């Protein structure tokens, strides 16, 4: 008499939340298309500035205000510069600002939110008071105030890590400082829920330190919030950078979509539409791609929506 064990062979292999989310995203045509668009913009952001390093050093007035043609696919501006080159450099500015602003905002929101939710009491009161006070000030007003405060200032002056806050660094640092509040609120609420679960209580009963519980049991389970907010935060950062540039408060040393819109806003009166249209379309495409991808990513990471 022989016995066969088929249970191990036929038992379905378990999938983690991350592998399941990746599988669902890879099967979603909209998510894949949006990710491809984002990847193209990211490649432009990486390579546009090195490839166009000599842009803007000379002007050809004989080619000013040319309509789109084979030589200049998106036409030229009032100084004879290629609008295509300006649009590509604008992608470099927007993507860099979006990435760096979220690189500041997301860790800040996670750290403060986790501390408030885990320790509670006075720590929670202090952090809640802090972000409530910041949230009571209109974002654009606070952003403009910070940008003016950063003018002619250098962070870590005299060291290898010196950062000129008058340029692009000041824009993404100001955006990062005001963009962490939403992440902090979500992480705080999730941490307050997680710290009452059985496995966290068991870890505390076994004598694990607060830092050990936070890094081993709390933070890994709120990582999905950080990823989703990082993707959705790009949209807000790009929109804020375009707004600042439109008001001549953004990046000055490079062209940006906001500056292009500002410079070309009166060109429509005389029929020169190409510079304004290029900046608006470039902004629209990347914002739409990030919004759609962020929504699909949020659905993919929602365990309530898992289906087989």
pLDDT tens per residue, range 111-159:
999 999 888 889 999 999 999 988 888 888 888 888 888 777 777 676 7
> Is the pLDDT at 12 greater than 60, yes or no?
no
> Is the pLDDT at 194 greater than 80, yes or no?
yes
Q: Where do the H-state alpha helices sit in 4-65?
A: 7-10, 17-26, 29-51
Banded pLDDT at 42 (limits 50, 70, 90): very high
* Domain boundaries, given as residue ranges, for the chain: 17-305
The candidate with the shortest Cα–Cα distance to 65, out of 264, 283, 262, is 264
Sign of the C-alpha dihedral, residues 187, 188, 193, 194? positive
Of 13 and 139, the structure prediction assigns the larger pLDDT to: 139
Q: What's this model's pTM, rounded to 2 decimal places?
A: 0.81
- Calculate Rg over the CA atoms of the chain: 24
> Is the pLDDT at 40 greater than 90, yes or no?
yes
How far from 211 is each of 118, 127, 215, 239, 302, CA to CA, in Å? 10, 18, 6, 37, 27
Q: Does domain 17-305 have CATH number 1.10.3720.10?
A: yes
The candidate with the shortest Cα–Cα distance to 260, out of 276, 277, 281, is 276
Banded pLDDT at 250 (limits 50, 70, 90): confident
Question: Region 167-180: what's the mean pLDDT?
Answer: 85
Provide, rounded to the nearest whole percent, the portion of the chain with pLDDT above 90.
19
Residue 62, sorted as left (phi over 0), alpha (psi -120 to 50) or beta, turns out to be alpha
> Is the pLDDT at 9 greater than 50, yes or no?
no
What is the crossing angle of helices 17-26 and 29-51, to 10°? 90
Q: How far apart are CA 174 and CA 165, in angstroms?
A: 9
Q: Which of 88-92, 121-125, 264-268, 285-289 has the lowest mean pLDDT?
A: 264-268
C-alpha 9: how far from chain center:
44
**Highest mean pLDDT: which range of 192-196, 217-221, 270-274, 281-285:** 281-285
> Is the pLDDT at 4 greater than 50, yes or no?
no
Per-residue pLDDT at 166: 73
Question: Region 268-278: what's the mean pLDDT?
Answer: 85
Pair type for strands 154-155 and 163-164: antiparallel
> Is the pLDDT at 200 greater than 60, yes or no?
yes
How far from 301 is each of 90, 91, 106, 298, 306, CA to CA, in Å? 32, 29, 18, 5, 9
Question: Region 31-56: what's the mean pLDDT?
Answer: 85
The candidate with the shortest Cα–Cα distance to 81, out of 52, 124, 114, is 52
Per-residue pLDDT at 216: 84
């Amino acid at each position: 008499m022989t016995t066969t064990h088929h249970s191990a062979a036929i038992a379905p292999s378990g999938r983690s939340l991350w592998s399941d989310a990746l599988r669902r995203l890879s099967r979603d045509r909209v998510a894949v298309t949006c990710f491809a668009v984002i990847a193209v913009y990211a490649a432009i952001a990486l390579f546009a500035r090195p490839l166009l390093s000599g842009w803007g050093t000379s002007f050809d007035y004989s080619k000013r205000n040319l309509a789109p043609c084979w030589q200049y696919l998106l036409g030229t501006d009032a100084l004879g510069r290629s609008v295509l080159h300006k649009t590509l450099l604008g992608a470099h500015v927007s993507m860099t600002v979006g990435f760096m602003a979220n690189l500041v905002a997301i860790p800040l929101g996670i750290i403060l939110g986790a501390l408030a939710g885990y320790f509670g009491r006075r720590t929670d009161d202090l952090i809640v008071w802090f972000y409530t006070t910041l949230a009571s000030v209109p974002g654009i007003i606070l952003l403009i105030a910070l940008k003016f405060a950063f003018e002619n200032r250098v962070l870590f002056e005299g060291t290898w890590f010196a950062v000129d806050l008058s340029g692009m660094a000041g824009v993404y640092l100001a955006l990062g400082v005001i963009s962490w509040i939403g992440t902090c609120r979500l992480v705080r609420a999730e941490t307050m829920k997680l710290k009452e679960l059985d496995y966290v209580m068991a870890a505390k009963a076994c004598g694990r330190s607060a830092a050990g519980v936070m890094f081993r049991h709390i933070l890994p389970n709120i990582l999905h919030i950080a990823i989703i907010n990082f993707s959705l935060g790009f949209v807000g950062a790009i929109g804020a950078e375009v707004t600042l540039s439109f008001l001549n408060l953004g990046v000055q040393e490079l062209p940006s979509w906001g500056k292009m819109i500002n410079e070309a806003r009166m060109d429509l009166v005389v029929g020169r539409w190409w510079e304004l249209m290029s900046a608006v379309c470039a902004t629209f495409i990347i914002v739409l791609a990030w919004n759609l991808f962020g929504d699909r990513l949020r659905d993919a990471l929602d365990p309530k929506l898992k289906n087989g």
